[in-house]
Amino acid sequence: MTETEAEAIESTQSAAAAESAIRREEHDLVVVGGGPAGLAAAQEAYDHGVDDIVILERDFELGGILQQCIHNGFGLHYFDEELTGPEYAQEFIENVAERGVDIRLNTMVEEVTDEKLVYAVSEDDGLTEIDAEAVVLAMGCRERTREALDIPGDRPAGVFSAGTAQRYINMEGKMPGEKAVILGSGDIGLIMARRMYLEGADVEAVLEILPYTGGLTRNVVQCLEDFDIPLRTQQTITEIYGDERVEGVTVQEVDDDFEPIPGTEYDIECDTVLLSVGLIPENELSEGAGVDMHPVTGGPVVDDGRETSVDDIYACGNVLHVHDLVDWVTEESMIAGRSVAKQLQGDIEVREEPIEIESTGAVSYVVPERISNVDDDREELPLYLRVYAPMDEVFVTVESGDEQLAREFERRAEPGEMITVDLDTEALEDLPENRLTVDVVPKEEI
């Protein structure tokens, strides 16, 4: 036998071995991700008649990011009481367990195809191929990194995304450092400022490149003002320096175009930099499945049932668009769960022509992007939207041609606070045109 022949035999054998090592299964519904979105979607799908559901979760437990969000402030809308992240998660974890949903932990989904073949790997089961009737994508989001911002300077240890530091402190019991500067004043940045402070670190400053904070007012008060932690707006880090460990940062004021203003540089000595500079929906799997993506949300384009452009593949939660409150993640994921259940039972009535939803003016996006189902069970259809910049006293309007379907007053609209407008579903019949336009108009222009 020649060497080439031996190699050929060996490679055939290993291919056969690999082939036989793939477990093959069929299930009605596969939910990718066991965080709040996946849990609520699975629970709701089960409650609407789907009993063959598998949740695939890469972590060692369910609950997703809520397990590290130990602060209170969750659940005010959904549970009508104030809970911490782990308490909110535990409610849904118990619910799916009671329903006998098949939960696979330590399992990483590698690929989802447009034919709804789901490939997952785990240490215990190796590679599994699941032929699913329907898939719910609920992978959540990921934090933007230093690399995404191109912050110049050295590359020392001590630069963390705020969420990474949050997991270290709250779940693993490790302090990232003793003297911190936080870049970004979104809610995670604010919450981590308080957390670092209460665990004994000095928090030198929270820096925000925008003229206003991206976080909730209550977090500015209870996380910064309570502990005299300075919030400096229109400032950013223009250099990180340090040999092995961060030794300090150079900070500069920025102009209205976010350009650093020469001559305003000053240094802050610190050993830790936390970055809270935005979240990005985690859509590698969605893109692999070929779903159409939305340029503003960074998530899939979906209809009113949260179905993507690929039949029977749904998306909900932060993978779809980043939510500021988990309560809205739950609400949206329940819409997806209910809708996927109806679809699996052939109980869904599709419109002849979908109604397209367009955002104009100061509206940065609206989810869903189209209404393709006739759903007699629901009386109201919520539209989720955000504005580009803070505005006082505005009306959110939803119009079709010259007909106004909804008009809601907001005392203050901010990019950080998602606005919900409930559409009366009866009003969706006999529209002047198959299109809705969502706008935000200052009060005096009405």
Partner 1 sequence: MSTETVEITCIACPVGCDVSIDVEDGEIQSIEGNTCPRGAEYAKEEYRNPTRILPTTARVTGGVLPRVPVKSAQPMPKPKLEDAMVEIAAVEVEAPVELGDVIVENVCDTGVDIVATRDLPAAEDGPKAVE
- List contacts with partner 1 (CB under 8 A): 59-61, 67, 70-72, 82-87, 89-90, 169-173, 198-199, 216-218, 220-222, 225-226, 411-412, 414, 417
Name the residue type at position 90.
Q
CA distance 238 to 249: 8
| Min dist. Cβ of residue 293 to partner 1 (A) | 30
Select 10 or 225, whichever has its Cβ closest to partner 1.
Answer: 225
Please tell me whether the peptide bond between 368 and the residue prior to it is cis, using omega within 30 degrees of 0. yes
The distance of closest approach from Cβ of residue 428 to partner 1 in the complex, given in angstroms and rounded to an integer, is 29
In this complex, which beta carbon is closest to partner 1, that of residue 223 or of residue 316? 223
* Nearest in space to 417 (alpha carbons), one of 184, 240, 186, 207: 186
Identify the DSSP state of 222. Answer: I
Question: Nearer Cβ to partner 1, position 218 or 245?
Answer: 218
Element (H, E) at 352: strand 349-359
The answer to whether 384 and 329 have CB atoms below 8 angstroms apart is: no
Q: How far is the CB of 56 from partner 1 (least distance, A)?
A: 17
Compute the C-alpha angle 94/95/98, nearest 5°.
85
Residue 5: CB minimum distance to partner 1, A: 44
Q: How far is the CB of 141 from partner 1 (least distance, A)?
A: 20
- Which residues have a Cβ under 8 Å from the Cβ of 4 and sit 6 or more positions away? none
Backbone angles phi, psi at 301, to 5 degrees: -80, 130
Closer residue to partner 1 (CB): 98 or 226 = 226
- Name the DSSP class of 362: T
Q: For residues 362 and 387, is the Cβ–Cβ distance under 8 A?
A: yes
Report the candidate in 348, 400, 406, 399 with the shortest Cα–Cα distance to residue 374.
348
Question: Minimum distance from CB of 212 to partner 1 (Å)?
Answer: 10
> In the complex with partner 1, which residue's Cβ is closer, 217 or 345?
217
Question: Which residue, 66 or 277, is less far from partner 1 as judged by CB?
Answer: 66
Residue 86 C-beta: closest distance to partner 1, Å: 4
Q: Identify which of 152, 209, 189 has the alpha carbon closest to the alpha carbon of residue 274.
A: 189
Q: Closest separation between CB of residue 187 and partner 1, Å? A: 12
For partner 1, give the closer residue by CB, 23 or 412: 412
The residue (of 111 and 225) whose beta carbon lies closer to partner 1 is: 225
Burial 320-335 (b: 16+ CB within 10 A, else e): bbbbbbbbbbbbbbbb
| Shorter beta-carbon distance to partner 1: residue 288 or 390 | 390
The count of C-alpha atoms lying within 13 angstroms of the C-alpha of 155, restricted to the half-sphere facing its C-beta, is: 4
Task: Kindly tell me which of 10 and 199 has the beta carbon lying closer to partner 1.
Answer: 199
CA–CA distance from 63 to each of 36, 349, 420 (Å)? 6, 33, 25
For residue 269, the minimal CB distance to partner 1 (Å) is 23
CA–chain centroid gap for 156, Å, is 29
3-state percent breakdown (helix, strand, coil) of the chain, nearest 5:
25, 35, 35
Q: How far is the CB of 367 from partner 1 (least distance, A)?
A: 20
The CB-of-432 to partner 1 minimum distance in angstroms stands at 34
Contact 109, 119 (CB under 8 A): yes
Per DSSP, the residues of 88-129 read HHHHHHHHHHHTT-EEE-SEEEEEE-TT-EEEEEETTTEEEE
Give the 3-state secondary structure of residue 254. strand
CA 429 to chain centre: 32
Q: Which residue, among 252, 184, 253, has the nearest Cα to 219 in the 3D structure? A: 184
- Shortest Å, Cβ 419 to partner 1: 10
| Residue 9 or 198 with smaller CB distance to partner 1 | 198
Shorter beta-carbon distance to partner 1: residue 19 or 123: 123
